[in-house]
Amino acid sequence: MSASISIPILAHPTLAAPDSRRRYFTPGMLVVTAIAAIGAAAWLFRMLFGLGAATNLTDAYPWGIWIGIDVATGVALAAGGFTTAFLAHILHRERYHPLVRPALLTAMLGYTFVALGVATDLGRFWAMWHVMLPPFWQPNSVLFEVAICVMCYLSVLYIEFLPVACERFIGRVHLPGRLAALNQPVDRALRFADKTLGRFMTIFIMLGIMLSCMHQSSLGTLMVITHGKLDALWHTPALPLLFLLSAFAVGYPMVIFESIIAHRSFGLPGERDLLAELGRFIPFTLGLYLAVKLADLALRDQLPRLLVADYDTRMLTIEVLFGVVVPILIFSSRRLRAQTRWQFLGAALVVLGVAFNRLNVFLFAYSPLERGAIYRPSVSEIAVTLGAIALTVMIYRAIALNLPVIEQLHDDHAHHAPRAHDDVHLTVLAAVPAQTIARPITPTVPAAETPALAGVKE
């Protein structure tokens, strides 16, 4: 169908010597893929043989790392999505726009895996749909609120991400084989979606922030009901507020953390100055969290306990010192926050700190009444959790390479050369190098034939 007129594109440096890091499978990615494959096998094992066979969960410990890490930590670390959207779209800080899409993608994938994590953990996963039907609803349940909000927010995230797909595919829908007949309708649908969504996007962004605030806090309320089991250092009616504030606080560090990893992984210069600017907010968000946390401990007469070193006070000290205090110091320093390595260290500490907090609340500081009961995650549980993280990375990379998410990854192609190739099949997207799918400057540039694109021609 498409004309294959060759233009001297092979002379272009990026195509003549393609940067190996922008290929999908790097050595690192092979490791990630292997972890994901092991995780998938463990997941299958759980699905076929049940929770008893796959997990070390007991009557004393009904929740393990699938809830503590995949769900509770997953939701918290996806907070970059709504906090960045708030900055860029509600407060109109336009310069942060390059950070919005990567954060949105992380949130979208993060929540997708939260949903999968929940489904994996449910004893009767096949009855999940009950949650969606009003006759089953039990509005006094905190978990009900969390479930509904997470489902709604997941949908909102996909809607928020749709314009990215529209940008990539409008005018370039080329379905393979017989599906080609659908090219026109799909294209029209995308155009319609793009136009409509563009008009309503503010609503979805606000809705997303609202839903996030609601369930981030409710996730904390979840554990308020655990009387006598969760240690008093964490068990407080202020848990919802603390969860919300720590979600606010972890949003930007998560964005910084990812941005540095992603740009390095793709061999891009990175966004150091922008991240330094974003880092200015962190002492305030983290500081507010710290103040409320300390005030809560003081009001409940728990502060004196910290003078005595035991298991729980040690856990809290590690959590607050390394996850909150040290990063506040790092990001308060103009000199330190201007350097990528300090940005990375500070952000990683906050991310780990909030993860540690969620684990404390859901696992480490939770001691059942049953004497001598212990929980050590099984090999399958660990494999599934690591696999989910690996799969998130894999999908992130595939999307980042193929859709306009990371600006530096796609902008430089647009600047360098006329983008030749429109004819990329949807089905081969994941395997096609990034160069092939950047936007054309002019839609009239004829299609070129390059070795990398064998099989693309029709």
Partner 1 sequence: MNARTSSQITPKSGSSVQAPTDTSRRGFLKAGAVLTALTVGGKALAGSGADGAAKLSEGRMGVLVDLTRCVGCRRCEWACNDANNNPHGKLEECDDQSVFATLRRPRTDQFCVVNATRNPLADPSPADPPIFTKIQCMHCEYPPCVSACLVGAMQKSPDGPVTYDASKCIGCRYCMIACPFERLTYEYDRRFTPRVRKCELCLHRTREGKLPACVEICPVEALQYGRREDLLRIAHERIAAHPDRYVDRVYGETEGGGTSWLYLSARPFEQLVDLGLPRLPDKSPAERTERIQHAIFKGAAGPLAIAAILTTLHFLTRKGGHA
Minimal distance in Å, beta carbon 352 to partner 1?
A: 25
Residue 143 or 395 with smaller CB distance to partner 1: 143
Residue 178 or 371 with smaller CB distance to partner 1: 371
Residue 61 or 252 with smaller CB distance to partner 1: 61
Minimal distance in Å, beta carbon 63 to partner 1?
A: 6
Minimal distance in Å, beta carbon 155 to partner 1?
A: 13
Minimal distance in Å, beta carbon 271 to partner 1?
A: 14
Residue 204 or 257 with smaller CB distance to partner 1: 204
Minimal distance in Å, beta carbon 256 to partner 1?
A: 18
Residue 99 or 352 with smaller CB distance to partner 1: 99
CA distance 323 to 347: 9
Minimal distance in Å, beta carbon 341 to partner 1?
A: 28
Residue 222 or 409 with smaller CB distance to partner 1: 222
Long-range contacts at 394-398 (CB < 8 A, ≥ 24 apart)? 394/29, 394/32, 394/33, 394/36, 395/109, 396/105, 396/106, 396/109, 396/262, 397/24, 397/29, 397/265, 398/24, 398/429, 398/430
Residue 141 or 427 with smaller CB distance to partner 1: 141
Residue 151 or 452 with smaller CB distance to partner 1: 151
Q: Are 65 and 363 in contact (CB under 8 A)?
A: yes
Residue 228 or 267 with smaller CB distance to partner 1: 228
Q: Are 404 and 265 in contact (CB under 8 A)?
A: no
Minimal distance in Å, beta carbon 139 to partner 1?
A: 3
Minimal distance in Å, beta carbon 406 to partner 1?
A: 11
Minimal distance in Å, beta carbon 292 to partner 1?
A: 15
